[in-house]
A and B are shown apart, each in its own frame.
Chain A
Amino acid sequence: MASTLISNHPVTNSERTRDSKKKKKKKINNSTNQNSLSQSRNRWKSEREQQIYSSKLLQALQQVRLSPSPASTSAPRGGRAVREAADRVLAVTAKGRTRWSRAILTNRLKLKFMKHKRQRVSAAAAGNIRSSKKPRVSILRLKGKNFPALRRKVRVLGRLVPGCKKEPLPVILEEATDYISALEMQIRAMTALTNLLSRATTSAPPPS
């Protein structure tokens, strides 16, 4: 069973690389924001992406289930572990092209090596505070649109999207559009998976 899965993967991967190369050529020709945004939305809506995500998610969930040790402190409850695995697989499927996907992947590494990274992260944060004043000034310069209420909303939105706490407004908007499409695909895939699993458990009686 596992061998069929491994043999199927290279097929989808090669298809994906061929299509992504065609898309990259199109991107170079019309290098405007519009195309990249609409392409990202179409990408997350395609059936293939959802299938790729579903299969990767299933693999990751298998690993989560096979090590349900109560001794591990990083995955205290099953639901939380599933959520983290689903987010990680989503970030991997995004191929690291967006900030939120990179932030998800690096956050997991940070959590793993929390003790060592704490000193490094605090030093980096101190450096970032000085450099983050630049984007904040750019938001002030944007004419007319930026009453404090708007700025507050943008900050809240920046906190919701992973990895965008200190980014300027247009970056946050762009990341949010891609993040929303990705989340919708994640929900579609997980719903389908849940339906399949529940049907499987009801139709086939569990071994006693």
Chain B
Amino acid sequence: MSGRRSRSRQSSAVSRITDDQINDLVSKLQQLLPEIRDRCSDKVSAARVLQETCNYIRSLHREVDDLSERLSELLATTDTAQAAIIRNLLMQ
């Protein structure tokens, strides 16, 4: 029992993270999501933002996977000299 009480005391210190701060973070996240940012810029529910975030991260992961596949195929065909040339182009 006392363990739970001390834990609640500690957690009340953590929950000093106010609702406003959470709202702030959620709105920042909202600005990053292209879905919500382009369509409806008023307040959307936190659940919607979280759902869109999960979907967006998953789609970003898929895109990175696709790009990795293409890159691996391309790298298999080019040789080191060409890659060094490209590196120099990038360093401009």
Interface residues of A in 99-154 (CB under 8 A from B): 133-135, 137-138, 141-145, 149-150, 153-154
Chain B 1-25, CB-CB to A under 8 Å as 1, else 0, gives 0000001101110110101011011
Interface residues of A in 174-191 (CB under 8 A from B): 174, 176-177, 179-181, 183-184, 186-187, 190-191
Residue B44, interface by CB 8 Å: no
Chain A 147-168, CB-CB to B under 8 Å as 1, else 0, gives 0011001101100110000001
From B46, B53, B79, B88, give the contact of A180 (CB < 8 A).
B53
Asked if A134 and B10 sit within 8 Å, CB to CB, the answer is: yes
Segment from A14-22, A23-31, A194-202 that makes contact with B: A194-202
In the complex, residue of chain A having the shortest beta-carbon distance to the beta carbon of B58: A160
Residue A91, interface by CB 8 Å: no
Residue B82, interface by CB 8 Å: yes
Residue B85, interface by CB 8 Å: yes
What are the residues of chain B within 8 A of A149 when measuring CB–CB?
47
> Complex: how many Å from CA A194 to CA B87?
13
Asked if B83 and A160 sit within 8 Å, CB to CB, the answer is: no
Asked if B57 and A180 sit within 8 Å, CB to CB, the answer is: yes
Q: Known contacts A33-B24, A134-B7, A157-B53; is A143 also within 8 Å of B32 by CB?
A: no
- Interface size class for chain B? 35 or more
Residue A170, interface by CB 8 Å: yes
What are the residues of chain A within 8 A of B63 when measuring CB–CB?
187
Residue B71, interface by CB 8 Å: yes
> Complex: how many Å from CA A173 to CA B63?
22
What are the residues of chain A within 8 A of B58 when measuring CB–CB?
160
From B29, B47, B73, give the contact of A173 (CB < 8 A).
B29
- Residues of A near any B CB (own CB < 8 A): 1-2, 4-5, 8, 33-34, 37, 41, 51, 54-55, 58, 61-62, 64-65, 77-83, 86-87, 133-135, 137-138, 141-145, 149-150, 153-154, 156-157, 160-161, 168-170, 173-174, 176-177, 179-181, 183-184, 186-187, 190-191, 193-194, 196-198, 200-201, 204, 206-207
Asked if A207 and B7 sit within 8 Å, CB to CB, the answer is: no
Q: Tell me what chain B mostly uses at the interface: helix, strand, loop, or mixed.
A: helix
Known: A82-B71, A190-B68, A204-B82. 8 other contacts (CB 8 A): A58-B90, A138-B15, A143-B19, A145-B22, A150-B46, A184-B60, A190-B64, A206-B79
Asked if B21 and A33 sit within 8 Å, CB to CB, the answer is: yes
What are the residues of chain A within 8 A of B68 when measuring CB–CB?
79-80, 82-83, 86, 190
Asked if B86 and A153 sit within 8 Å, CB to CB, the answer is: no
Asked if A79 and B72 sit within 8 Å, CB to CB, the answer is: yes
Chain B 68-92, CB-CB to A under 8 Å as 1, else 0, gives 1111111111111111111111110
Asked if B72 and A135 sit within 8 Å, CB to CB, the answer is: no
> Complex: how many Å from CA A2 to CA B12?
56
What are the residues of chain A within 8 A of B75 when measuring CB–CB?
61, 64-65, 78, 82, 197
